[in-house]
Amino acid sequence: MNKKSSPSNQELNSYIIEEDTELLKHLSAAYPNKKKALLKSVMGGGQIRINGDVITQFNHPLKKGDEIQINWAKPSKKIKLQKLNIIYEDQHLIAIEKEAGLLSVASLKEKTKNAVQILKEHMEAIDPRNKVYIIHRLEREVSGILLFAKSKELQEQLQNHWEDFIIDRKYVAIVEGKVKETSHTLKNYLRSNKHNEVFIVDTPNNATSAITHFKLLKQSNAYSMLEFKLETGFKNQIRVQMAHFGYPVTGDKKYTARKNPLARVALHANLMELKHPISGEHLKFELVPPSNFRNLVAKG
């Protein structure tokens, strides 16, 4: 068969998908002699592109006619550090997977290590001249994708022109209760006080408009798994709005949750899609929700 339409054992493969499936299922069937650990490492290392986009999610849907490119020779970029994984790195950017419970940046009240410090120590151990600059933050209780720049100039470029480069960001959460809507948009006005508490107010006076879209992924009698897309960005936005809507994020005692079955706030930043600020390349990072998210909904 033509190399363009079927897998081979060369270092760089490019071919057309012939039937609808999922990424890991396809790789396991197409490359039966390669161990599953290797296939996952290749995915996590940013070595697979679907129609030109870097894909790291093992259950990413493949459609008939999609073009897949696999770089077997490229070393894996996924590096396990304390409470974080490096999932992508080039000469300008680093994307990590942050665990819940890890601060993004230093706090005046906290002496424990944070994501910036851990990543900085790792990079400086490779070369003392290396620098890292955080571009955005995730709340301590939230896990998922976090982006860093390797120069101050690039950090400022992305922060000051966020909407020019960030194409899409999504979150997944487990909320308490059985949500009736299959999709919904939340619109509220948010305000924070000097104690860093966020709350909803009735008028726009001294407040910020917050718009959040969600869709239902699956549910049980006790919990619902939702995917969120933020139209605006405000501290604790999803958590505050869902509590006000009557379905707090499980584990979020700060915002009225009654249960904490996962010993964490069940909110996960699962997708980031962006235009590379230097090369113009289209990057897409996806992280499946933690297995305990999926298990909790299955158990009910």
Which is more confidently placed, 191 or 183? 183
Which is more confidently placed, 4 or 272? 272
Which is more confidently placed, 234 or 93? 93
**pLDDT attached to residue 1:** 34
| pTM (predicted TM-score) | 0.72
- Highest mean pLDDT, choosing among 85-89, 224-228, 287-291: 224-228
**pLDDT attached to residue 97:** 94
**pLDDT attached to residue 241:** 95
* pLDDT average, residue stretch 57-77: 81
Which among 138, 3, 163, 142 has a CA at the least distance from the CA of 70?
Answer: 3
* pLDDT average, residue stretch 269-294: 91
The mean predicted confidence, pLDDT, of the chain is 88
- Measured CA distances, 8 to 25, 47, 65, 146, 258 (Å): 16, 16, 17, 34, 53
How many CB atoms neighbour CB 8 within 10 A? Answer: 14
* pLDDT average, residue stretch 6-29: 83
Beta carbons of 45 and 54 less than 8 angstroms apart: no
Percent of the chain exceeding pLDDT 90 equals: 59
Residue 48 confidence class, pLDDT cut points 50, 70, 90: confident
Residue 45 confidence class, pLDDT cut points 50, 70, 90: low
Considering just the CA atoms, what is the radius of gyration of the chain in Å?
20
Q: Which residue segments constitute the domains of the chain, with CATH numbers given?
A: 12-71 (3.10.290.10), 77-160 (3.30.2350.10), 168-275 (3.30.2350.10)
Which among 25, 31, 58 has a CA at the least distance from the CA of 44?
Answer: 58
* pLDDT average, residue stretch 101-128: 85
Strands 143-149 and 267-275: parallel
Percent of the chain exceeding pLDDT 70 equals: 92
* pLDDT average, residue stretch 160-184: 95
Which of 61-70, 72-81, 271-280 comes out lowest in average pLDDT?
A: 72-81
Which of 6-20, 31-45, 62-76, 206-220 comes out lowest in average pLDDT?
A: 6-20
pLDDT at 3 over 70: no
pLDDT at 8 over 70: no
Q: Each residue of 247-260: pLDDT tens digit?
A: 999 999 999 999 99
Which is more confidently placed, 111 or 281? 281
**pLDDT attached to residue 2:** 40
